[in-house]
Structure 1
Amino acid sequence: MQLLLLAFAVGLVSAHDHIDPSEVSGDWRTISVAADNFEKIDEDGPMRMYFRQLQCHEECRKLAGRFYAKANGQCREFNRVAVLDEEKGVYVAEYAGKNIFKIIAQKDDVLAFLNQNIDEEGKETNMILVVGKRDSLTEEEKQKLVKVAEEKGIPKENIRHVAETDTCPE
């Protein structure tokens, strides 16, 4: 789940070399997802994750996440721990294959991740995941998301603002 958090462009935050655990740990909800392989983030796609919580451990060398994914309309809870590859500056976690990700933007109430998923068949999907402590992005943030997505080869029509589709338990 290479949620490679790329600096969510010029406005959410400047890229951090160091993640502030006090800003990352806590309750989060998925606001938006985007992917170059739309099937992965479609309504029942495995990478349409509805986050609930992130926790930094060991000075954020490990990042634990609790989230839901839907299959056939049914919510299923997952708990995964990503481990920081300090040499490469990315986290690596197993979920629907291998994920390599990075926080690309950090703001008080929004985090953006750039993720590369390599599924069991070896197919690569590049995606952006935005989580927040609110339900939506501002118009300016949406424009920045479009810009970053296009820079990463993700068509703007593959961006989904998914907070309203989150019917999973707390």
Structure 2
Amino acid sequence: MALLLLSLGLSLVSAQELNPRAIVRKSYDMAKVSGVWYSVSMASDDMKRIEENGDLRVFIRNIESLKDGGLRFHFLFMVHGECVQVAMVCERTEKDGEYAVSYEGDNKVLLLETDYKLYITFHLRNIRNGTDTNVLALYVCRKYGLGPQNIISLSNQNTCFKYKK
């Protein structure tokens, strides 16, 4: 079901000015990934990890390409019932578009697809205590109508923010 929602989200986002020739699936220019992005949808093979209070439930705010080739992600997520902003640096691996970070286990973050302007998708593989968890995440750029004006803070209701209807 979650994968269906992720696909639907990508379909709706891509209906706006999508140019199939502009879609990048390899040889990424990470400097073009830098900027403000907003979480649209997540899917996982362990839904408990991305549901409310899940340790992998994060809402992205910004991605920075670093001079050393790494990426800095700025997230919002729940800590002890409070919505907090956290920056996490991922180190580049030898694989194109792949980054490593230690958080709740060993993680590989792989950029799957982007057009640098409209959307970006990531695959997170988390290995913790011998358990392998996969998360797919879809983010969109603020230029296409999704931004703070479409989000309301619900930090007192056990979630960082939720999209307005």
TM (norm. structure 1) is 0.66
CA distance in 1, matches of 2:41, 2:59: 10
Cα shift at 1:16: 2.3
Amino acid at match of 1:18: Y
Say yes or no: does 1:85 pair with 2:79.
no
Secondary structure in structure 2 of the residue aligned to 1:28: strand
1:71 Cα shift? 4.2
Task: State the identity %.
Answer: 24
Greater shift after overlay, 83-92 or 26-35? Answer: 83-92
**Secondary structure at 1:53 match in 2:** strand
Q: Which one of 24, 41, 50 corresponds to residue 41 of structure 1?
A: 50
Partners of 2:39 and 2:138 within 8 A in 1: yes
For structure 1, list consecutive stretches of 5 or more residues without a partner in the other structure.
Answer: 1-7, 137-162
The counterpart of 2:23, out of the listed 13, 21, 28, is 13
The amino acid of 2:53's aligned partner reads: D
User: Aligned pair in 2 of structure 1 residues 109, 73: CA closer, same or farther (>3 Å)?
Assistant: farther
Higher alpha-carbon Rg: 2
- CA offsets per residue over residues 119-168 of structure 1, 9 Å max, x none? 3x2321011011112449xxxxxxxxxxxxxxxxxxxxxxxxxx776529
The CA RMSD measured in Å over matched residues stands at 2.9
Q: Between Structure 1 and Structure 2, how many residues are aligned?
A: 132
Aligned to 1:122: 130
- Write out the 4+ residue segments of structure 1 that deviate beyond 4 Å after TM superposition: 163-166
1:95 paired residue number? 103
Q: Which has the higher contact order (CA 8 A, sep 6+)?
A: 1
